[in-house]
């Protein structure tokens, strides 16, 4: 039998119908919205080549050195001719056409899609290796089926199988024939982050058919949804210049320009995102592992066009990610493409220190790489790409894979997280930045550049060799698997030099990074340092200090507190004679009141944050200390905005250290804060009227006093009502009694001292398990 219908196919039919068809059959059987269709089986292809007698010549033709580009091209051409020039048996033609005529009475436009038996596997995606044809009708159907068979021997497919160790004669190919979905909007969805394995759903969307998104010819909108909260955390609306649509007259798939009025319009509504998220959760639950889903929307109907395992999440990246709670298939081969040859080849060899950010795009494959830019605008220019070069191109195609393997990094003008460049770069372990917009026009051939595939930046010059590294999660210290908890456990960092040790704890991020320790280490008050060295030097000191910690933890969040040192500490520095003399500096000119009172200095701190964001450190969060009320918060937020930091896009919040701030937190929530963090040292002393540095009243100091706990509990409740996260970064967060109280109250995260992180993780897990048991007993 040459044909099987999708509703007859299941996931264990891989050898019969290939990976794509097996998945579509499984989804159909699960009741998910899959367009109807049938499969020309892999056995039909095998019978065709064997019974016609072309099999031996076919496999001999592709038995070549795939690194030889001329031999590769000749092998493809010979294999293609053998298949296309050999006629189909009459009975096979009849069976395929009869099946087609059963789809919408023979008038349907169909998609004809390759489905190889080595495809969409748990350990290799074979992404983009075989052909797909859209909007096909009866006259062209048989030719397109044979084109799909022939695509098993395209240059890219031959090369890829050789690299993956698959014998050419061991791989068969089926063909899916499926009713076309004439999509208004379409795209791809990852049910977990494809690089880090984080529990975030990534959706990319564009107008028209999904081919534009998958090929990378358009930079799609990007939507990031937190799976735990079901909240859309980030929306990036791209300029979508092109779309693929069905031509009304010819029925062919054509590329059209998106009307000006829709280019910068958001593709997906909140309701559509919610429906896609529900489908993603359902399909991942069905398969039991993260999925890469192609989808399309027509009117009010959502369709699933394909689902396959995400093959680019490694075990090491999952081990440090929050709340994943499941084993994820390790597909990485440990390539060393992420470490760049700083000198590269040719004119790009000059060493130049890394400087300003030249361009920004989407960090699509993690890691840092330096090398000379090789601007590729035509396929015949690929030969100039040498080991250690950075390919710069409008978008990659499967034919570019051999050159991509040689490169230290990839930069594209177009494309998103699900483009060919992104998927293949992640699988090769090559850092990539996609969707830069204009890299091929702005970068010169041979220009030394450094790309950061985590943060999406392209910078001038070459990074020092020791700073170039493998994808981020592979470079971090490995520790025993941490206890998995719903409550995040973060770490406090006082100095940047402690970042590596802090990261080794497996913490979910940094709950408190203190700027004042960076400033105090300068030996001068901020005003004196600025007078002696200039504003630029002061900003750079803060940038470099924060950057070291943000790098070590990326993409885990790093919460940075703006300057909060009492005047007695500044009086000990050079220039400290100008500081006011205060009887009790803890109650004096510090925290946000100092920042608002010295706006010229404060604006330089905020300028440092702006530069960090421009450099791609989107894991940095801003925290204002010692606020009392919404007026403090609004003034600080306005200055943040004046500095060029968008408070709607960046995460920022406040310290809850005074009874006033705890009692007025609702108005601060309404002012737009994203989080509130308890500083229990100060909150306790101000609530109990106890100077925490006064030994005469030390016995009265108690962070677990009912009054302190009442303020903390009520703040958590209010913040939860407003969707604002809460955390604790004071020393009390390391005490088991406080941990139990906070978890029971529903705090979002607890930040502990470095030495206490693992103990707090275990204590949080114990309390959470007890709460679960109590709820079912």
Q: What are phi and psi of 322, to 5 degrees?
A: -70, 135
Q: Are 424 and 127 in contact (CB under 8 A)?
A: yes
Q: Are 421 and 451 in contact (CB under 8 A)?
A: no
Q: How far is CA 61 from CA 65, 158, 171, 298, 528, in A?
A: 11, 11, 15, 44, 75
Among residues 148, 669, 719, 729, which one is catalytic? 729
Nearest 5°: the CA angle 383, 387, 388 is: 120
Is 719 catalytic? The answer is no
Tokens 């680019």 -> residue: 312
What is the Cα–Cα distance from 414 to 220, expressed in whole angstroms? 9
The residues that bridge with 225 in the sheet, in sequence order, are 201, 232
E strand residue ranges, 453-520:
457-460, 488-493, 510-514
Question: Which helix or strand (DSSP H or E) is residue 742 part of?
Answer: helix 736-745
Q: Are 655 and 684 in contact (CB under 8 A)?
A: no
DSSP state of 89: P
Q: Kindly list the strands in the beta sheet with 301-309, ordered across the sheet, starting from the edge strand earlier in the chain.
A: 231-236, 221-226, 200-207, 185-190, 291-298, 301-309
Nearest 5°: the CA angle 111, 416, 390 is: 120
What is the Cα–Cα distance from 223 to 239, expressed in whole angstroms? 14
What is the Cα–Cα distance from 149 to 176, expressed in whole angstroms? 11
Among residues 420, 583, 705, 719, which one is catalytic? 420
DSSP state of 616: T
Q: What share of the chain is helix, strand, coil (3-state, %, to 5)?
A: 45, 20, 35
Nearest Cα residue to 673 out of 592, 590, 573 = 592
Tokens 């964001």 -> residue: 613
Nearest Cα residue to 364 out of 303, 453, 304, 477 = 453
Tokens 């949080």 -> residue: 764
Spatial neighbors of 143 by CB under 8 A, at least 6 apart, are: none
What is the Cα–Cα distance from 490 to 753, expressed in whole angstroms? 9
**Cβ neighbours around 146 below 10 Å, total:** 20
E strand residue ranges, 239-299:
242-246, 253-257, 291-298
Mapped to the 3 state alphabet, what secondary structure does 425-472 carry?
Answer: HHHHCCCEEECCCCHHHHCCCCCEEEEECCCCEEEECECCHHHCECCH
Q: Are 221 and 243 in contact (CB under 8 A)?
A: no
What is the Cα–Cα distance from 359 to 357, expressed in whole angstroms? 6
E strand residue ranges, 275-417:
291-298, 301-309, 357-360, 362-365, 368-376, 390-393, 409-412
E strand residue ranges, 320-437:
357-360, 362-365, 368-376, 390-393, 409-412, 432-434
Q: Are 550 and 617 in contact (CB under 8 A)?
A: yes
**Cβ neighbours around 594 below 10 Å, total:** 22
Q: Are 348 and 371 in contact (CB under 8 A)?
A: yes
**Cβ neighbours around 462 below 10 Å, total:** 25
Is 193 catalytic? The answer is no
The residues that bridge with 370 in the sheet, in sequence order, are 450
- Three-state secondary structure call for residue 111: strand
Active-site residue set:
420, 729
């Amino acid at each position: 039998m040459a044909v099987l219908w999708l509703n007859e196919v299941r996931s264990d039919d891989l050898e019969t119908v290939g990976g794509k068809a097996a998945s579509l059959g499984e989804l159909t059987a699960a009741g998910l919205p899959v367009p109807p269709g049938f499969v020309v089986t892999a056995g039909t292809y095998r019978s065709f080549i064997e019974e016609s007698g072309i099999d031996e010549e076919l496999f001999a033709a592709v038995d070549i050195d795939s690194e030889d580009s001329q031999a590769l091209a000749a092998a493809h051409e010979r294999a293609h001719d053998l298949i296309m020039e050999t006629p189909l048996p009459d009975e096979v033609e009849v069976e395929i056409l009869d099946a087609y005529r059963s789809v919408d009475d023979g008038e349907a436009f169909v998609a004809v899609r390759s489905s190889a038996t080595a495809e969409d596997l748990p350990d290799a995606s074979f992404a983009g290796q075989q052909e797909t044809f859209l909007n096909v009708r009866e006259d062209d159907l048989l030719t397109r089926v044979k084109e799909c068979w022939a695509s098993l021997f395209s240059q890219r497919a031959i090369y890829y199988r050789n690299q993956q160790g698959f014998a050419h004669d061991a791989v068969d190919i089926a063909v899916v024939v499926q009713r076309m979905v004439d999509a208004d909007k379409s795209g791809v969805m990852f049910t977990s982050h494809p690089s880090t394995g984080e529990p975030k759903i990534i959706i990319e969307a564009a107008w028209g058919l999904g081919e534009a998104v998958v090929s990378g010819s358009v930079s799609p909108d990007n939507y990031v949804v937190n799976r735990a909260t079901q909240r859309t955390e980030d929306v990036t609306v791209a300029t979508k210049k092109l779309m693929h649509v069905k031509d009304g007259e010819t029925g062919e798939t054509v590329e059209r320009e998106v009307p000006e009025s829709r280019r910068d319009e958001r593709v997906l509504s909140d309701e559509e995102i919610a429906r896609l998220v529900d489908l993603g959760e359902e399909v991942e639950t069905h398969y039991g592992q993260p999925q890469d889903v192609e989808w399309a929307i027509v009117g009010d109907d959502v369709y699933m066009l394909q689902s396959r395992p995400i093959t680019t999440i490694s075990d090491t990246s999952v081990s440090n990610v929050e709340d994943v709670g499941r084993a994820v298939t390790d597909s990485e081969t440990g390539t060393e493409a992420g470490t760049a040859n700083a000198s590269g080849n040719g004119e790009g060899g000059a060493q130049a220190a890394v400087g300003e950010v030249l361009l920004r795009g989407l960090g699509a494959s993690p890691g840092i790489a330096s090398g000379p830019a090789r601007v590729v605008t035509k396929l015949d220019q690929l030969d100039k790409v040498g080991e250690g070069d950075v390919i710069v191109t409008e978008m990659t195609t499967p034919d570019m894979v051999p050159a991509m393997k040689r490169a230290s990094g990839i930069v594209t003008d177009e494309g998103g997280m699900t483009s060919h460049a992104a998927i293949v770069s992640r699988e090769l372990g090559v850092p990539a930045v996609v969707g830069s917009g204009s890299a091929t026009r702005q970068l010169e051939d041979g220009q030394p550049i450094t790309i950061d595939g985590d943060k999406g930046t392209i910078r001038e010059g070459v990074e020092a060799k020791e700073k170039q590294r493998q994808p981020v999660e592979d470079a971090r210290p490995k520790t025993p698997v941490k206890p998995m908890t719903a409550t995040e456990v973060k770490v406090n960092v006082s100095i940047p030099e402690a970042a590596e040790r802090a990261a080794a704890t497996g913490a979910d991020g940094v709950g408190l990074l203190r700027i004042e320790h960076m400033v105090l280490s300068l030996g001068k008050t901020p005003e004196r340092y600025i007078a002696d060295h200039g504003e630029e030097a002061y900003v750079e000191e803060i940038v470099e200090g924060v950057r070291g910690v943000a790098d070590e933890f990326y993409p885990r969040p790093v919460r940075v507190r703006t300057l909060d040192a009492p005047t007695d500490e500044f009086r000990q520095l050079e220039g400290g004679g100008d500081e006011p003399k205060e009887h009790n500096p803890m109650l004096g000119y510090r925290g946000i009141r100092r920042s608002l009172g010295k706006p010229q200095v404060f604006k330089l701190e905020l300028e440092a944050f702006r530069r960090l964001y421009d450099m791609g450190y989107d894991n940095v969060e801003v925290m204002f200390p010692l606020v009392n009320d919404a007026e403090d918060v609004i003034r600080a937020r306005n200055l943040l905005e004046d500095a060029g930091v968008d408070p709607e896009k960046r995460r920022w919040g406040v310290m809850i250290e005074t009874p006033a701030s705890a009692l007025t937190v609702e108005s601060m929530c309404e002012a737009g804060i994203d989080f509130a963090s308890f500083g229990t040292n100060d909150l306790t002393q101000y609530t109990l009227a106890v100077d925490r540095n006064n030994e005469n009243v030390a016995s009265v100091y108690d962070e677990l006093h009912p009054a302190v706990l009442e303020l903390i509990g009520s703040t958590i409740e209010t913040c939860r009502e407003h969707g604002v996260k809460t955390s604790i970064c004071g020393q009390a967060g390391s005490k088991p009694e406080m941990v139990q109280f906070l978890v029971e109250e529903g705090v979002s995260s607890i930040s502990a001292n470095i030495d206490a992180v693992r103990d707090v993780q275990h204590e949080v897990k114990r309390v959470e398990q007890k709460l679960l048991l109590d709820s079912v007993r």
